[in-house]
Chains A and B, each alone.
Chain A
């Protein structure tokens, strides 16, 4: 058997250890909210007084006061000086110191319109001098210009010529509209082209879209190739009686149209015009749209 040795060191605990080191510092906290807005500052001191103003006036403003103590007014207008005007609805006043209202202008405008016979949509119209016949042959390559007065702005959608009852053969007829100058045809407003005329009594039209403002125009027609019997609805031997502003010759024969010889191809500015006082001009018609 072995011997057991008992030591006092194995029977009692040793002394307590030393305290450990302090832990690491924590992370920073979040920022706080903004503070409240501060109070409004005190009002600043009043500025220094400025210098006195000077009023300068120009007509029609007048100044009954002084340049530093103005008393302004506006002068009345006259036909020679600008100024303030009294409005009036009158359509009979002869005043030269009042002004018409839009209402007065409309009254006058409506009245003037009521005195004009408008063109009726879908109907054909001819020149004012054209008293129609259809037995006289037209001269080939001669442009006939028949006056056509337009009293109110109108759009026309057809231009027409018609072969006479005795027509035979084939013809090319050019149709168009001319502006006027000093009562006579001047520049080309519309060259509508040609129609091929092949049968008596048949109407030939060309589609157009031509607006005419109030004024005097001329409807132009030219048989640019002659048919065997080159007759059309034309100005007859008796002149029209409708007032049209056309002049008369010295023997009091009304000028019914103007003509220009030797015109071939497209229409161009009218020139070398001859007064037309005899029958025979081809009459072109236009249809109101």
Chain B
């Protein structure tokens, strides 16, 4: 398993909750490239 981390518009922003990370999901290995 790996991970996909998604930031909101504008990317990393320490002034926003969770540094503007809006989603973290696990990715099955077979879907990675």
| Interfacial residues, chain A to chain B (CB-CB below 8 A) | 132, 158, 172, 174-175, 192-196, 199, 201-209, 233
| A196–B33 alpha-carbon span in the complex (Å) | 20
Q: Are B8 and A207 in contact (CB under 8 A)?
A: yes
CA distance A175 to B9 in the complex (A): 12
Q: How many A-B residue pairs have CB under 8 A?
A: 55
Contact yes or no, A196 B19, CB < 8 A: yes
Specify the chain B residue showing the minimal Cβ separation from A200: B2
Are the CB atoms of B12 and A195 closer together than 8 Å?
yes
- The residue in B7, B8, B13, B27 that gathers the most chain A C-beta atoms within 10 A of its C-beta is B7
Distance of A265 Cα from B6 Cα, bound (Å): 21
Contact of B7 among A202, A205, A209 (CB under 8 A): A205
Residues of B whose CB lies within 8 Å of any CB of A are: 2-13, 19, 22, 27, 32-33
* 20 contacts across the A-B interface (CB closer than 8 A): A158-B6, A192-B10, A192-B11, A193-B9, A193-B12, A193-B13, A195-B7, A195-B12, A196-B12, A196-B19, A201-B3, A202-B2, A203-B5, A203-B27, A204-B7, A206-B11, A207-B7, A207-B9, A208-B9, A209-B9
B12: chain A residues within 8 A (beta carbon): 172, 193-196
Which of A194, A199, A203 is close to B11, meaning CB atoms less than 8 Å apart?
A194
Q: Distance in Å from the Cβ of A222 to the closest Cβ of chain B? A: 12
**Cα(A208)–Cα(B8), bound, Å:** 8
Tell me how far the C-beta of B13 lies from the nearest C-beta in chain A, rounded to whole angstroms. 7
CB distance from A246 to the nearest CB of B (A): 21
Q: Which residue of B lies closest to A203 (CB)?
A: B4
Interchain CB contact under 8 A, A193 and B2? no
Q: Report the separation of the CA atoms of residues A202 and B10 in the bound assembly, to the nearest whole angstrom.
A: 19
* CB neighbours of B8 from chain A (8 A): 206-207
Cβ-defined contact, A207 with B6, below 8 A = yes
B6 (CB) vs chain A CBs: closest residue:
A205
Contact A202 B4 (CB under 8 A): yes
Are B2 and A203 touching (Cβ within 8 A)?
yes
B33: A residues at CB distance < 8 A? 132, 233
* C-alpha spacing A174/B12, complex, angstroms: 10
Given contacts A172-B12, A203-B32, 17 further A-B contacts (CB under 8 A): A193-B12, A194-B11, A195-B5, A195-B12, A199-B3, A201-B2, A201-B32, A203-B2, A203-B4, A203-B5, A204-B7, A205-B5, A206-B6, A206-B7, A206-B9, A206-B10, A208-B9
What separation, in Å, do the CA atoms of A29 and B8 have in the docked complex? 91
Tell me, in angstroms, the Cα distance from A226 to B24 when the chains sit together: 23
Complex Cα distance A201/B2, Å?
6
Residue of B nearest to A204 (CB): B5
Measured between alpha carbons, how far is A194 from B22 in the docked complex, in Å?
A: 14
For B22, the chain A residues whose CB sits under 8 A away are 207
Nearest CB to that of B8 among chain A residues?
Answer: A207
Complex-state Cα separation, A199 to B4, whole angstroms: 11
Residue numbers in A under 8 Å from B6 (CB-CB): 158, 205-207
- Measured in the bound complex, the distance between the Cα atoms of B13 and A233 in whole Å is 24
Query: Nearest chain A CB to B6's CB is how many angstroms away?
Result: 5
